[in-house]
């Protein structure tokens, strides 16, 4: 084949190649070891003189042209094929329901973790104590006298060995004071919370459970005062409810605090206007609290003339009910997965 013939054939084959594989085959056909152009270059050895030089230049020019054409064709075809691939691609529907099932945490765990995180960030230690305690820790050390109604059989579960199930997380106050009280002289305040399960011997209904959670909090130092108590309660509750919670204190009587308070928060449902949930008062009773009674400090080995402190007993179960809108307190210990599996985060 002469150059013209090769040129013609080259343009035909490149033209007709519609797949990258065909381009490759054609390339071998022209530029491979036995390809037309390679052969033509080999044929130069039979030519001589001026003609050899001219022909040689022409064939080499053709070779470069062929290489460029093949490269160009290959790029074009690849682009075409990729486009075709995209065009042929299916469109997946991610809007179909997610089949993945999730595990769940108990609502008390969720609320408790939240409170623990908030108080930890403010320097409170998170304490752990048992559910079984004794008369001293649950009552005596808390300035609750022998014939106080709280000690009645109808309120407290007594065990046959003389111990009892703790009726409030305040039962840990004495232990906390004894554990950390020695640090006070070194200038380290006592800051502790204790989330725990409590037991009251009463009939259950939608609003009453014999087994429920509280979170005790105590802070003791040289000059802890009522203004501090209001500050910490307001900060904590505003974090939990993710809004600026209004709080108010009113007198409440608990033997282990003096002054003692009931802490109310502004009703989230009506915003304080008054609604059935808050009995039209605009306020919800949330948490008994107060300044730790001097007798309680003394029982904990702390000098009430030197130190003051506040304590609160936040109802975690009640908090979870308010936060999630749980109407029946019995749902917490029901083990009913149809309800509990909602608490995924």
Partner 1 sequence: MLVSMNWINDFVDLSGEDIPALIKRFTLATAEVEDVITKGSDISGVVVGKILTCEMHPNSKKLHLLTVDKGDEVVNVVCGAPNARAGITVALATIGGSVCGKPIGKAMLAGYESCGMCCSEAELGLSSENAGIMELDDSLKAGTSIKDVFPIDDVIFEVDNKSLTNRPDLWGHYGIAREFAALTGKPLKAVPVLKAEDYASLPSVSLTSTDEMLLRYVAVKAENITANISPAYIKIRLYYCGLRPINLLADLTNYVMLELGQPMHAFDGRKVEAVEIKRFEKPFEFITLDGQARAIDNSNLMICADNTPSAVAGVMGGLDSEIAPDTTSLLLESACFDAAAIRRTSVKLGLRTDASARYEKSLDPENSMTAALRFMKLLLEICPETKITSNFTDLYIKHFDIPVITFDKTYIDRYTGIDIPSETIVKTLTSLGFGVEQSGEAFTVTVPSWRATKDVSIKADLVEEVTRVYGYDNFPFITARSPLYPVKPSISKTDENTAKDILSRRYKLHEVHSYIWYDSKKNKDLKLSLAPNLKVINAQTADHETLRADMIPSLLYFVNENKGFGDDFGIYEVGHTVKGDKNSKATEQKQLGIALYSRSTDEEFLLFKARDIIAAFTIATRGANPEFINIKPEQSFCHPKNTSEIFISGISCGYISILHPTIKNTIDKKANIIIAQINLTEYAEIPGINLSYNESPKYPGIDFDLTIPAPKDSRFSDISKAWTESQHEHLKSVSLIDIYGDTTKNITVRLSFSAPDRTLSMEEVNAHITTITSRLSDMGITIRR
Whole-number minimum distance, CB 246 to partner 1, in Å?
10
Least spacing, CB of residue 285 vs partner 1, in Å = 8
Do 106 and 318 form a contact (C-beta atoms < 8 A)?
A: no
Whole-number minimum distance, CB 20 to partner 1, in Å? 37
For partner 1, which is the closer residue by CB, 30 or 232? Answer: 232
Sign of CA dihedral 118, 124, 125, 131: negative
Question: CB-wise, 70 or 261, nearer to partner 1?
Answer: 261
Q: Are 132 and 196 in contact (CB under 8 A)?
A: no
Q: How far from 9 is each of 14, 26, 34, 63, CA to CA, in Å?
A: 9, 10, 16, 13
Nearer to partner 1, 59 or 311 (CB): 311
Question: Cβ closer to partner 1: 63 or 246?
Answer: 246
From the list 166, 112, 106, the residue with the least C-alpha distance to 138 is 166
Cβ at position 301, least distance to partner 1 in Å: 18
**Separation of alpha carbons 28 and 38, rounded Å:** 10
The tokens describing 168, both together, are 């409030």
Which of 40, 174 has the CB closer to partner 1?
Answer: 174
Nearer to partner 1, 90 or 162 (CB): 162
Asked if 70 contacts 31 with a C-beta cutoff of 8 angstroms, the reply is yes
Token couple for 287? 């948490």
**Residue 269 Cβ, how far from partner 1 at the closest point, in Å?**
19
Q: How far is the CB of 200 from partner 1 (least distance, A)?
A: 11
Give every strand in the sheet of 190-199, ordered side by side: 125-126, 190-199, 211-221, 308-315, 283-292, 257-266, 247-251
């Amino acid at each position: 084949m002469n150059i013209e013939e090769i040129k013609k054939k080259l343009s035909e084959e490149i033209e007709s190649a519609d797949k990258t594989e065909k381009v490759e085959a054609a390339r071998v056909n022209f530029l491979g070891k036995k390809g037309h152009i390679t052969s033509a270059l080999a044929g130069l050895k039979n030519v001589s003189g001026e003609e050899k030089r001219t022909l040689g230049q022409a064939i080499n020019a053709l070779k470069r042209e062929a290489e460029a054409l093949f490269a160009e064709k290959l790029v074009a075809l690849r682009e075409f094929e990729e486009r075709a691939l995209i065009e042929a691609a299916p469109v997946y529907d991610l809007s179909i329901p997610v089949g993945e099932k999730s595990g769940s945490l108990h609502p008390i765990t969720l609320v408790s973790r939240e409170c623990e995180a908030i108080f930890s960030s403010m320097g409170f230690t998170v304490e752990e104590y048992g559910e079984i305690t004794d008369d001293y820790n649950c009552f005596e050390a808390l300035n609750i006298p022998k014939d106080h109604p709280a000690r009645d059989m109808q309120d407290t579960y007594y065990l046959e060995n003389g111990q009892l199930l703790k009726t409030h997380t305040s039962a840990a106050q004495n232990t906390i004071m004894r554990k950390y009280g020695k640090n006070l002289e070194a200038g380290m305040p006592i800051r502790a919370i204790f989330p725990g399960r409590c037991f009251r011997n009463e009939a259950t209904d939608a609003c009453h459970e014999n087994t429920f959670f509280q979170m005790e909090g105590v802070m003791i130092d040289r000059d802890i005062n009522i203004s501090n108590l209001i500050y910490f309660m307001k900060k904590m509750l505003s974090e939990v409810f993710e809004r600026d919670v209004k709080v108010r204190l009113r007198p409440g009587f608990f033997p282990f605090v003096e002054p003692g308070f009931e802490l109310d928060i502004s009703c989230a449902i009506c915003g304080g206007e008054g609604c059935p949930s808050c009995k039209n008062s605009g306020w919800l009773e949330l948490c008994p609290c107060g300044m730790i009674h001097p007798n309680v400090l003394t029982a904990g080995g702390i000098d009430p003339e030197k130190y003051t402190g506040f304590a609160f007993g936040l109802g975690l179960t009640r908090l979870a009910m308010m936060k999630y809108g749980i109407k029946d307190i019995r749902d917490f210990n029901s083990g009913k997965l149809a309800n509990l599996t909602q608490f995924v985060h």
